[in-house]
Amino acid sequence: MKKIAIFAAAFALILLLTKIANQVPPEPPSGTAFSLKAQQVVQCSPEEITLVDNHQTETHLEKDVNWPDCAVFQKEDILDLYLSRGEKTRYLSSEKTIWWRKAM
């Protein structure tokens, strides 16, 4: 009986680890200089954007022409942003943050 319980627990652990591993976000697009994970947009204008992370640390960026319109960013959305450096910050892509990163 003990062996069956140990086998079942090991099997459940393997299934749990597999599920977590499959939720890892995809690789960022090529050419990415940096990424900002679990960011929330608090202020947006055509020239600038201000982001806040889970620790209430603000990041202020000057935007170039590649950024989408401010209406795309909802205040309640928590996003992973992939950006590139230059004279101004270049937008490459973004995606919603996965659940476990929101809690960190």
What pLDDT was estimated at residue 101?
66
Across the range 53-82, mean pLDDT stands at: 91
| Bridge partner list, 18 | none
What local confidence, expressed as pLDDT, does residue 75 receive?
82
Q: What is the pLDDT of residues 14-67, one digit of tens each?
A: 999 988 888 877 766 666 688 899 999 999 999 999 999 988 999 999 999 999
Q: Is pLDDT larger for residue 86 or for residue 29?
A: 86
HEC assignment per residue over 51-64: EECCCCCEEEEEEC
d(CA 67, CA 63): 7
pLDDT class of 74 with cuts at 50, 70, 90: confident
Give all domains of the chain, ordered by start, each with its CATH number: 26-102 (2.40.50)
- CA pair distance 47, 29, nearest whole angstrom: 24
